[in-house]
Structure 1
């Protein structure tokens, strides 16, 4: 029994309000066919909407088999319409892109999704179509049906879910008399098993087919007549509040799929527009990924060729760490695109001067060495090797007594002297193209504690003592012919002879070179190393340099320390950067051996014994000018310094310090200021620089003088010791740290920063340690160019995403307007607001996902073009790399953007009143 108790419904407010229903109370028996008659506007359709749960805003109550609906939520009303009510409207409201069978099935899918019942959908749809008399029309589209056939499909759609109630709102209003009679007969047949309520203006049909007739006028029931007995008794069960299950997603998704297929043209265009934003995002990510991979590769490959460098000179560290933006960061010129009205000056010189003055102290590398040996330091664990550099000369000879390394640098070019053949300019170019002479021989990188090294052993073994070497080859085992001659493996004199023949105009042949060397050919090669102090011998009480004396040199080399090649190695794959062309690498013990040899030598011992006596000249290191010319130079230089110090700017203390300088101190300062001295001896310093120096505190100014002209200065004495190789092993001039990996590199830099902070807190009177790397400029350039490209792409992304989102928003909005009736009928069949939102969200999700796929595919196609662009801008290849894994996040991002863009119009469509949508 379906009962209405005192139902009232008012539209509008105030004087403009209209009372559509006024205290209507009715009871409907099941099964029966009840027709509601009355003039237009009397409340018939409103009553039907309330009975079907389409309109819940009313006064009074509804009960079904004794269960009141007053406590129903919106979701429960949706479930009620989905499972217990079937609607038939004046217009069929078929979904035009679904077939007849699919139009019927969508109602069944909604019902079974909520009820959870297991139903043979195909059989149920076929049965409903057969009952409606259109069993053979299942595969047709709505556009292929007549009006009567379309209305029968609507009835089949209402019946397929076996509802308790069928509500028909003027189902014959747009049909001819024959079809009207057929539809009414069909509804009468249906009424044998359920309650059928029909709103109609056709009194004759009502009198003919109805079991009950209700007449209404002005929102009230005028009469309720029973025309005939019920033809059958339906099984009456107590009604239960419908379950509001949310399992209709699959049915909605299928509906979305069919709509996209039907509107494939619009869907493709929307997908293409949406893909532009994804394309820009993928390309930006690809450049970021490629640039980062390139920089990581460069950084990893340079772990050995460009170690972390820490210099003793605080000023050098500070200047090396400066980075000037030539694009205008340090200038105040006209903005881009504007015509300058004046010449502006940059601040590079001032910044360099301040950096030099603020870091004028030496870095205390001795304390840092002590720190390295502490248990809490992880630097040695994170490094392949920590190497100390000293200002000593490395002098090495090959097996033919030809000097191949002088003062640490290869001598091959000096020995050949290409300037006599090609000229000075060509020689300069040759020197630029050939490897750095300082790289012919270097210390082998290995961790003494763990034995870890960035090199792989090809033959022999690693060096284990000061007199052992290894040859470092390229990854493929090759070395350059430059190395072959520079290392004395082949005699460079054959090149010299060929060069002589060319110069003399004689016939010449390019010397033949051995194409390869067996490991046994190279293992066992010997070299001689000579400490600089051994070049000197004493004659008549004066030390003489014997390097130019053939007999002395022959005897010296015969007794010199021998270095033997004991191994052949190559870089491991991780650090190989393709630049290794051949190197002689010595053991870490060689430099300490040479230092010990110097300190134990007679000439150094004699120099140490008398710091005031120059062992190389036999004269004293005079602290006062010895000649008239020296005296004049001393006075002129000191006066030039004082003249530059304006008494109004410089304190008396600063001027007194200059006046008290000794001869050695003045000469040392003159050497430091050589670039600022004019021919007449005056100082050429800008007024701005003078003011900056004058502004320094007196203590800072004094410390500056003490660094470059210490009061205990004896320039000749220190110069002699350095030249002879007598250095303090605890006072290196540079420390090079070879990190094991980029993560280890970062950890080392972080620990150095912590060390600096600790030293600052303890008040250490030394400059902070500063690190540098020779690849930083290249990495900065690549970062700058890729950053510019990324910024351009970022702007395009904003524009493209805005365009994509607007396109999806617009398409969704237009679609929601076009599909008003579809949304209305779905709501009448029990779809929730969430289902309607899902419908549009699913469509946009598919569009966005395909946009992600399309954008990624196009990015793969554009990758070579973008690589050409970055190659032109940076001279580096492969900076744009689109990885395969980016497809998945691109698809997800495209789907997310599309769903978000269309969500607002989707929610707006879902919030629409289904009654208004259907009329």
Structure 2
């Protein structure tokens, strides 16, 4: 039962107040058809809006099923409109971009009913009003009467207790009006129908009761309720309260709001696309920058990895302070830069500073302690390195297996000697390192592989055969075009080094050197190659007097030793992988680290080493005890006696040398003095440890150098920190020596990543301005959409939409625009990256540099959505605050 007690409604109108209702008191039965008659402006529609909860009364009370509405909050009114009231308007108030059935489903959508239930109940309501065949049409495809029946179907779909009809036949012809009235009459059989009309004839014909209003006052009631006989009992009031509580108010879901907003946006496809595209411009700019930046970072990372393969962190037995040396060489030391105020030209100690800085900065690394520390995996260093390589002073003597034409040494390479270069070994190393592309392999073509076999897959493609599996297996390394330099061929003995002798002299004399014909080899030719590995100690033979002599100049002896030496065979041919930019470009022989370990063990187990270790106080080369007195004074008689005691070949060579000095005019005293000086210099190195070094003895726990290959720059920084911690611990304990190491690549490239990041951040900061502008534009578009859909807001509020539901609809609209903008921006960027990559490849030779990172793409879409939602906050709140009555009057 619906009861109005002294309802008044006042509207402010400028400085005056309009009294629309002046104390209306009336009670309506649960089942009756009531017509409210009166002239225009008398307050009929206002009364209907108050009964429907669209408008709030100023004074009085509206009692619904025995409960006063004075304590109603917004959500209570929303629930009341959604579940208890159904509105039928004169102008139909259908949402034009929704289908007929979607309009009818709207009230159920707002109540949170499941999709299947919504569809079933909507179809039933449309069948009830005779529109089962028109449910999928748009409202503008229907006649006026059909649209009014759709409005009735929407009003009854939630099975409300009250139907409120405001001039339902006002825009219809007579025949259609009758149809509508018949439907309302039928509905009044089981619920309350209140109709406002100007047509007394229809009211008299169809209504059970007529209430007349004039100037805001109730003037007559044809069938008023008798309070004494017709009133709700306490049991009925309690039953209604329980029923109201069960109705609840679940509200519109986010998905429903998105679907509703999407349908609206699709009615304005052109504007929606332009808005989304404009919003995507900032996303495109940032995505392009990130794709280039990420590509550059990946390129740098790949370069770092390959660079780390060429320039690892190196720890030598003796480390020099190269930074101080360079400072002194450039004349930048403190003394060299001191201002001269004497008025005279002073000398500047450049050489002295340079030598002093090197001497002061030279330190001995405790290689045994460092290796033990690294073997303990400090700070999980194994996870930050590609490999840790240990090298030893044991010479790797490799010879050509075929000695039919004499012994040919393959490693260390003798090509430069054959060419006639007299430069020092260090100079040769620098020049040949430059020739080899900076691979660090010096002028030897035999290069160790890293012990981490995963790097083999990363750095090498097997052309033929396989990678080494044992210590005596090696592979030939060719360039990407399966070519190998003639230098390497000479070094390996495949070409005759005799061709090179005198070549440099001929060039310096101005003679033209004829180019040799290009040679080629099949894979099988190279795979059939074998070499001999000869320990340095095998070059020494025991003499009859118990001493040991160096037999490396005895061709026959050396040939026999090479023939008897262990064999190393070529088992594969490899080329650098696409991503390997650090390898030699002139060919090499790659061997596993186990080869050097085998050499170290072979030397340690040799008889000559055992002889020296058994006599630690005696020089096995001379048979004399080691002495601190290194001065030697020889006479010609002593020299003649030495020659007589030497093996035939060596004695003859030394005698020929003495005769040559005599021929050059040197006296016997001068010759003896020269020999004495030479013997003194030899004695200076004649120590137990010195002899073991000569024999090539090494300790696997005491490497000559350690090369640490970090995975990338971040890993290198982690390793730097580990070494700093190690040195700090040494300083704290006061025991041991600090680690001194060389980090060439860190000096060259440490700031490259920071520069790229800085440029990226600056560019993003500039482009971000467009994102802000796009957000403001989306906010403006949403505001325009609110203005365009004001009447829709009123319709939604009339069928039970809460302020939150309305706000959610427009928030969903901004979400869709933001999402589409973000996705569109990423898609456009991906397409733009195609020509960008083509240009970069043409200009810089780097393929596929630009690519939008997946994480960045997702992040940019999220940023676009967030910014759009922020931009839509104000318009959405404005929409939610609109007065439903005012909104319904908007055209």
TM-score (norm 2): 0.69
**Are the aligned partners of 2:603 and 2:697 in contact in 1 as well (CA < 8 Å)?**
no
Matching of residue 525 in structure 1 with residue 531 in structure 2: yes
2:832 to 862, 874, 895: 862
Give the C-alpha shift of residue 818 in structure 1.
Answer: 0.5
**Larger mean Cα displacement after TM superposition, 595-604 or 510-519:** 595-604
2:776 to 806, 809, 827: 806
Give the C-alpha shift of residue 831 in structure 1.
Answer: 1.9
**Larger mean Cα displacement after TM superposition, 372-381 or 305-314:** 372-381
SS in 2 for 1:525: strand
**Are the aligned partners of 1:101 and 1:125 in contact in 2 as well (CA < 8 Å)?**
no
**Are the aligned partners of 1:24 and 1:220 in contact in 2 as well (CA < 8 Å)?**
yes
Q: Deviations over 1:425-468 (max 9, x none)?
A: xx9899636665345234454389xx99999995696555xxx5
Q: Deviations over 1:700-753 (max 9, x none)?
A: xxxxxxxxxxxxxx9996899699688986876632135699998787555434
Matching of residue 470 in structure 1 with residue 441 in structure 2: no
For residues 616 and 820 of structure 1, the distance between their equivalents in structure 2, rounded to whole angstroms, comes to 118
**Are the aligned partners of 1:395 and 1:531 in contact in 2 as well (CA < 8 Å)?**
no
**Larger mean Cα displacement after TM superposition, 80-89 or 142-151:** 142-151
For residues 354 and 10 of structure 1, the distance between their equivalents in structure 2, rounded to whole angstroms, comes to 102
Q: Deviations over 1:889-909 (max 9, x none)?
A: 665555454444334422331
Give the C-alpha shift of residue 221 in structure 1.
Answer: 3.4
Give the C-alpha shift of residue 244 in structure 1.
Answer: 1.0
2:568 to 565, 568, 578: 565
**Are the aligned partners of 1:526 and 1:562 in contact in 2 as well (CA < 8 Å)?**
yes
2:313 to 308, 313, 322: 308
SS in 2 for 1:113: coil
User: What's 2:649 paired with?
Assistant: none
2:728 to 757, 762, 779: 757
**Larger mean Cα displacement after TM superposition, 822-831 or 241-250:** 241-250
Give the C-alpha shift of residue 819 in structure 1.
Answer: 0.2
SS in 2 for 1:163: coil
Q: CA RMSD in A?
A: 5.6
User: What's 2:805 paired with?
Assistant: 835
Give the C-alpha shift of residue 193 in structure 1.
Answer: 4.0
User: What's 2:164 paired with?
Assistant: 167
SS in 2 for 1:97: coil
SS in 1 for 2:800: coil
For residues 377 and 9 of structure 1, the distance between their equivalents in structure 2, rounded to whole angstroms, comes to 80
Give the C-alpha shift of residue 526 in structure 1.
Answer: 1.5
Q: Deviations over 1:602-621 (max 9, x none)?
A: 59889994556378999xxx
User: What's 2:597 paired with?
Assistant: 588
Q: Deviations over 1:392-434 (max 9, x none)?
A: 876655455344445xxx4435534799xxxx9xx98996366
Q: Deviations over 1:866-902 (max 9, x none)?
A: 3356557865433323467877666555545444433
For residues 529 and 851 of structure 1, the distance between their equivalents in structure 2, rounded to whole angstroms, comes to 71
Q: Deviations over 1:221-263 (max 9, x none)?
A: 344333999xxx9x99953213212365565444323212211
User: What's 1:199 paired with?
Assistant: 196
**Are the aligned partners of 1:106 and 1:251 in contact in 2 as well (CA < 8 Å)?**
no
How has the CA–CA distance of structure 1 residues 121 and 582 changed in structure 2, closer, same or farther, with 3 Å as cutoff?
A: farther
**Are the aligned partners of 1:3 and 1:27 in contact in 2 as well (CA < 8 Å)?**
yes
**Are the aligned partners of 1:310 and 1:734 in contact in 2 as well (CA < 8 Å)?**
yes
Give the C-alpha shift of residue 828 in structure 1.
Answer: 0.7
**Are the aligned partners of 2:209 and 2:223 in contact in 1 as well (CA < 8 Å)?**
yes
How has the CA–CA distance of structure 1 residues 223 and 248 changed in structure 2, closer, same or farther, with 3 Å as cutoff?
A: farther
**Larger mean Cα displacement after TM superposition, 720-729 or 881-890:** 720-729
**Are the aligned partners of 1:22 and 1:219 in contact in 2 as well (CA < 8 Å)?**
yes
Give the C-alpha shift of residue 821 in structure 1.
Answer: 0.1
How has the CA–CA distance of structure 1 residues 732 and 220 changed in structure 2, closer, same or farther, with 3 Å as cutoff?
A: same
2:208 to 202, 208, 211: 211
Q: Deviations over 1:832-855 (max 9, x none)?
A: 233323323333333334334433
1:613 to 630, 634, 643: 630
Q: Deviations over 1:581-610 (max 9, x none)?
A: 432434135468779979879598899945
Give the C-alpha shift of residue 859 in structure 1.
Answer: 2.4
**Are the aligned partners of 1:440 and 1:583 in contact in 2 as well (CA < 8 Å)?**
yes
SS in 2 for 1:526: strand
Q: Deviations over 1:774-825 (max 9, x none)?
A: 48746854x3675366336523541342233223222211101110001110
User: What's 2:341 paired with?
Assistant: none
For residues 95 and 78 of structure 2, the distance between their equivalents in structure 1, rounded to whole angstroms, comes to 20
**Are the aligned partners of 1:397 and 1:528 in contact in 2 as well (CA < 8 Å)?**
yes
1:369 to 339, 349, 371: 371
SS in 1 for 2:77: helix
1:221 to 212, 218, 221: 218
Give the C-alpha shift of residue 202 in structure 1.
Answer: 5.1
For residues 355 and 33 of structure 2, the distance between their equivalents in structure 1, rounded to whole angstroms, comes to 103
**Are the aligned partners of 2:9 and 2:19 in contact in 1 as well (CA < 8 Å)?**
yes
1:256 to 255, 261, 274: 261
**Larger mean Cα displacement after TM superposition, 485-494 or 883-892:** 883-892
User: What's 2:113 paired with?
Assistant: 113
Trace 1:361-760 onto structure 2 (pairs within 5 A): 363-372=365-374, 386-389=388-391, 397-399=399-401, 400-406=406-412, 410-413=413-416, 415-416=418-419, 432=435, 436-438=441-443, 440-446=445-451, 462=469, 464=471, 468=472, 470-471=474-475, 473=477, 480-482=484-486, 484-493=488-497, 496=500, 510-517=517-524, 521-522=528-529, 524-528=530-534, 530=536, 552=554, 559=561, 562=565, 564-566=567-569, 568=571, 579=583, 581-585=587-591, 586-590=595-599, 602=619, 609-610=626-627, 613=630, 734-738=705-709, 751-760=722-731
Query: Unaligned regions of 5+ residues in structure 1, if any?
Result: 323-351, 538-542, 619-713
Q: Deviations over 1:559-588 (max 9, x none)?
A: 579463156466998996683643243413
User: What's 1:157 paired with?
Assistant: 154
SS in 2 for 1:613: coil
Q: Deviations over 1:644-666 (max 9, x none)?
A: xxxxxxxxxxxxxxxxxxxxxxx
How has the CA–CA distance of structure 1 residues 93 and 455 changed in structure 2, closer, same or farther, with 3 Å as cutoff?
A: closer
TM-score (norm 1): 0.67
SS in 2 for 1:120: helix
**Are the aligned partners of 1:275 and 1:855 in contact in 2 as well (CA < 8 Å)?**
yes
For residues 433 and 375 of structure 2, the distance between their equivalents in structure 1, rounded to whole angstroms, comes to 44
For residues 147 and 385 of structure 1, the distance between their equivalents in structure 2, rounded to whole angstroms, comes to 83
User: What's 1:326 paired with?
Assistant: none
Give the C-alpha shift of residue 29 in structure 1.
Answer: 1.5
User: What's 1:877 paired with?
Assistant: 847
1:826 to 796, 801, 826: 796
**Larger mean Cα displacement after TM superposition, 724-733 or 250-259:** 724-733
SS in 2 for 1:54: coil
**Are the aligned partners of 1:279 and 1:855 in contact in 2 as well (CA < 8 Å)?**
yes
How has the CA–CA distance of structure 1 residues 496 and 859 changed in structure 2, closer, same or farther, with 3 Å as cutoff?
A: same
SS in 1 for 2:836: helix
**Are the aligned partners of 1:38 and 1:217 in contact in 2 as well (CA < 8 Å)?**
yes
SS in 1 for 2:33: strand
**Are the aligned partners of 1:8 and 1:58 in contact in 2 as well (CA < 8 Å)?**
yes
SS in 1 for 2:314: strand
Give the C-alpha shift of residue 485 in structure 1.
Answer: 0.9
**Larger mean Cα displacement after TM superposition, 453-462 or 830-839:** 453-462
**Are the aligned partners of 2:378 and 2:722 in contact in 1 as well (CA < 8 Å)?**
no
Count of equivalent residues = 764
